[in-house]
Structure 1
Amino acid sequence: MGAPVAACAATNAAAVLWCEAGRSPASAARAQQFGLTPVAALRDLLDRSDIVISLCPPAAAEDLARDVAEHGFAGVYVEANAVNPERMVRIAELLKPVAAVVDGGVVGSPPVRGKTPTLYLSGPVAATAQIEALFAGTAVQTKTLGREVGKASALKLSYASFQKTSRVLVALAVGMAREHGVDQELVEIAARRTDSYLAEPEYIAKTAARAWRWGPELEEAADTLAAAGLPPEMLRAAASTLARWNDTKDGELTLTDALDRLAQP
């Protein structure tokens, strides 16, 4: 994601730099492919930059921010990694008040071959406006959610929790079906429905009302996975989540009631 996003920034920036210290040959090849300008050390990059965009594996995000803070960077720092809101706040505290910190979350595929991801932003008004201007007219769309640091990260992880877990669930479902020779039939059933469950939040209340019987069904499915040598933990976790609604058996709940009971069983 980092290199093609940086290449989009080059449309409106005087230069887009990347630090080659400690990076792999593959990273160097991507940077070269997208026309980024290399610098030898992080200090060189920070001394020459008004804006820093951090796009790296989440586990490295806090350490990178700490390194940037130690150099006294005083520009706009965009923390665009998939970190949770609490970690986002910690990162902001590392860099403030010297730097202006913008919370960012990229939703969508890398901006290549016609793809147009959205970079969601939250933070100081002047700083988010700079990032909007940086990507204006490029394949990276921007949308500002407000001034509160943590909003963009929360949105990113809310979407990722559904999207990525759904892909894993597909692997488990197809794996289970293949073990019993019915994988093609499973795909045919699924092909009859193309809507995303994520676009149907009103169904959460119906899910809660059915939890008392859906949970045991998923436990049975988990046992089937285990018998096939496939990992059952995800379905057991789903059954455990459904158990929070067990006392609403076939009840009439609103969406708000269902979500409240989920959060505070």
Structure 2
Amino acid sequence: MDQPTIGILHPGSMGAAVAGCAATNATDVLWCETGRSSASLERADEFGLTSVATLAELLDRSDIVISLCPPAAAEDLARDIARHRFAGVYVEANAINPERVQRIAVLLEPDAIVVDGGVVGSPPVGGKTPTLYLSGPPDATVHIEALFAGTAVQTAVLGTEVGKASALKLAYASFQKTSRVLVALAVGVAREHGVDQELIEVASRRTDSYLSEPQYVVKAAARAWRWGPELEEAADALEAVGLPSEMLRAAASTVARWHGAKDDGELTLTDALDRLAQP
């Protein structure tokens, strides 16, 4: 599979840019124009993708198919692929949970070889270099690595178990995206009280990410007995100015699982995480 033919389903902003990178090491990159928007057509033209009339033609001609679509559509799309008995490598690269990826693998195998994928980062344009994490059969992941060699899409293989790449993607997304929503809530309530600039000044004194400091989870668990009520107070403050409070109330409910760890100086990270999983 030195110069494979690739099929991309469907070229959104991420899918089109990833497909454009794949074109570097592929004979051709195909997409199915039928039923797609004018915006999709423009993206496909921008990245030099080749239009085909039907999904069946795309599958018949493709050695590797990459699925990058809205998460809700991932399984329906896989069912369409299964009906055509696609027999190449299917990269399930959508932001879906590991159980859904495994269901898709059951749908498509044994006709297709399923590789789990998760893209972390922005679309590979303007100097951006996202990483496509992969997990699945080694004889298939090696072809995906070769497909993106020397391009703006970096690859990293996490192992042979389908679901690992999606787990990493969603674990990161759960923090990255929720943290942005929390910023909106924090700045929103501060603005209502005329202290939003002061909030930003306070926050600017710390620029690193809590996600890179998992040991801080231990401190959070030991302090949860007072963090919970504080989060409830913050939720009340949001409600008072018409902002949604559900996220902070959910956070308060989460830290309540650490109630028995009050000021426990012997707590380990493993203990803290176990208490979350098995309250």
* Deviation readout 1:29-70 (Å, 9 max, x if unpaired): 111111111111100100110000000000000011110111
1:72, CA displacement in angstroms? Answer: 0.8
Amino acid at match of 2:112: A
1:182 aligns with 2:195: yes
Gaps of 5+ in 2: 1-13
Instruction: State the partner residue of 1:255.
Output: 269
Instruction: State the partner residue of 1:244.
Output: 257
Instruction: State the partner residue of 2:226.
Output: 213
1:264 aligns with 2:278: yes
Gaps of 5+ in 1: none
Instruction: State the partner residue of 2:9.
Output: none
Amino acid at match of 1:235: L
Amino acid at match of 1:255: L
1:5 aligns with 2:18: yes
CA separation in 1, counterparts of 2:203 and 2:35?
45
Alignment of 1:13-92 (within 5 A): 13-92=26-105
| Selected match of 2:110 from 78, 82, 97 | 97
How big is the alpha-carbon RMSD for the aligned residues of Structure 1 and Structure 2? 0.5
CA separation in 2, counterparts of 1:208 and 1:214?
9
Amino acid at match of 1:80: A
Q: Secondary structure at the match of 1:59?
A: helix
Q: Secondary structure at the match of 2:132?
A: strand
Q: Secondary structure at the match of 2:65?
A: strand
1:132, CA displacement in angstroms? Answer: 0.3
Q: Secondary structure at the match of 1:16?
A: strand
The ranges of structure 1 where at least 4 consecutive aligned residues each deviate by more than 4 angstroms after the TM superposition are none
CA separation in 1, counterparts of 2:37 and 2:238?
38
| Percentage of identical aligned residues | 80
CA separation in 1, counterparts of 2:35 and 2:71?
17
* Structure 1, 244-253 or 170-179: larger mean CA deviation: 244-253
Instruction: State the partner residue of 2:11.
Output: none
1:198 aligns with 2:207: no
| Selected match of 1:137 from 150, 163, 178 | 150
CA separation in 2, counterparts of 1:185 and 1:40?
57
Q: Secondary structure at the match of 2:159?
A: coil
1:7, CA displacement in angstroms? Answer: 0.1
Alignment of 1:106-121 (within 5 A): 106-121=119-134
Amino acid at match of 1:189: V
Q: Secondary structure at the match of 1:92?
A: helix
Q: Secondary structure at the match of 1:11?
A: helix
1:197, CA displacement in angstroms? Answer: 0.1
* Deviation readout 1:122-143 (Å, 9 max, x if unpaired): 0000100000000000000000
After TM superposition, the score normalised by the length of structure 1 is 0.99
Q: Secondary structure at the match of 1:10?
A: helix
Amino acid at match of 2:272: A
Q: Secondary structure at the match of 2:34?
A: coil
CA separation in 2, counterparts of 1:40 and 1:237?
47
1:27, CA displacement in angstroms? Answer: 1.0
1:247, CA displacement in angstroms? Answer: 1.1
Amino acid at match of 2:245: P
Q: Secondary structure at the match of 2:24?
A: coil
* Structure 1, 231-240 or 23-32: larger mean CA deviation: 23-32
Q: Secondary structure at the match of 1:106?
A: strand
| Selected match of 1:168 from 181, 188, 194 | 181
